Structure 1
Amino acid sequence: MIASLNGSLLAKSPGTVVVDVGGVGYEVFISSRTYDMLPENGQVCSLFIQTVVRADAINLFGFSKKEEKELFLLLIAVSGIGPKLALTILSGIGVGEFCQAIMAKDLARLTTFPGIGKKTAQRLCVELAEKVDGLSGSDAGASAVPRMSDTPTINVMGDAVSALINLGYPQATAWQVLRTVEEQLAGEVESPPVEELIRRALRLLAAR
């Protein structure tokens, strides 16, 4: 079983990458957070890998951080959560923030992801409450600048995403632009109100 890949990055997109290892190109499914951490094409790329074998396919899922892979494994062990849905969750939330949401039983935050209804969110809380404790601090120290997702107001991003979706923007677009806003505000405002996030997000979307 492939546990990691280290090779030249041939191609990348928000959902997949192709890594050349010894002349063989491996297609790997990734989250948008892992995508944000990739180098430029042609440079060396290292990913933690989880191989998922099915009757009709063998798929590789890649992660920039070991903790992200560990959370992926916890997610796909929950009934109703497949690999693609697990990647959707990982694209929209950091490991530390997800663990906080599970321990706080924050159903409102968990149900912001497509495919996650109230019952599935409740199942996640029940099945993962004791398993995520070791991962809860994994995002700490990743950056010297505090991120909004590390603050107690973890519902703010979810509320902003919901507002953009209600305005007609796709969820993936909403998460992407709000992460850009998050980076812009890092170090400026510790706990920005949801209105400020939405205002800045709409400004970025209008400029596209």
Structure 2
Amino acid sequence: MIGRVRGLLIEKAPGHALVECAGLGYEIDIPYTTFFHLPDTGQEVTLHTHFAVREDAQSLFGFAARLDRDLFRLLIKVNGVGPKLAVGILSGLDAQQFIRCVETRDVNALVKLPGVGKKTAERLLIDMADRIGQLEGQFVPSDIPASGETGAGIPPAAGPDPAEEAEAALIALGYKPQEAAKAIGRVAEPGMNSEALIRLALKNMIPTR
């Protein structure tokens, strides 16, 4: 089991990070809530990881906070929730926000997540109510600096149009193209990079408490 990776951040993109550790490059799937906490490429990063092995694939999932990683492990034990859906849930809500949803039985916030229907949301509230007690006493570590809310001070990366890149990222997460385009259009301002657009679009699409 690979439970933690620490090394140089070689590449980062919504949903993906490449970390070099002791000469090896680890391709790691990450939720958007972790992507927003990654440092600039070339800097050191620490990710709490879960290694999943199936007959047809081996995947490494990474999280900025151990609490998010441990919640991910609880989510994939729920009937009907696989790693892809668990990553989608943690892309819209971090662990603390998800726990608040469970505590307040906020089914409406959960059904706004892509791939989560009403039945799945209700199952999550029921099953996770008995499990979140296993997460008591944990906290979100501060060893990885968070990005600013608006992406201020981060120079826009050269390459694809930020709005198009942000739309593609939301579609990959599971939102319909029309929903993604509308969400990006609401928050887009001149000079914003794709990271800031995704962050604000998700914030507006999924209400938190």
TM-score (norm 2): 0.68
Deviation at 1:86, TM superposition (A): 0.7
Cross-structure match for 2:76:
76
Q: How does 1:7-26 map to 2 (within 5 A)?
A: 7-26=7-26
Separation (CA, whole Å) in 2 of partners of 1:33 and 1:18: 16
Separation (CA, whole Å) in 1 of partners of 2:63 and 2:199: 18
Question: Which has the bigger relative contact order, CA under 8 A and spacing at least 6?
Answer: 2
Instruction: State the secondary structure of the residue aligned to 1:109.
Output: helix
Deviation at 1:4, TM superposition (A): 0.6
Deviation at 1:57, TM superposition (A): 1.1
**Is this contact kept in 2: 1:99–1:133, CA < 8 A?**
no
**Is this contact kept in 1: 2:14–2:35, CA < 8 A?**
yes
**Is this contact kept in 2: 1:30–1:61, CA < 8 A?**
yes
Q: How does 1:21-100 map to 2 (within 5 A)?
A: 21-100=21-100
Q: In the TM superposition, what whole-angstrom CA distance separates every residue of 1:78-131 from its partner, at most 9, and x where no partner exists?
A: 011111111111111121221111122211111011111111111111111021
Residue identity in the other structure for 2:101: A
Unmatched 5+ residue regions in structure 2?
A: 143-148, 150-174, 188-195
Deviation at 1:25, TM superposition (A): 0.6
- Identity %, equivalent residues: 37
Misfit runs of 4+, over 6 Å:
139-142
TM-score (norm 1): 0.68
Q: How does 1:26-175 map to 2 (within 5 A)?
A: 26-133=26-133, 135=135, 168-170=178-180
The 3 A distance-change label for structure 1 pair 137 and 113 is: farther
Unmatched 5+ residue regions in structure 1?
A: 148-164, 184-196, 199-208
| Matched residue count | 165
Separation (CA, whole Å) in 2 of partners of 1:62 and 1:126: 26
**Is this contact kept in 1: 2:67–2:140, CA < 8 A?**
no
Instruction: State the secondary structure of the residue aligned to 2:178.
Output: coil
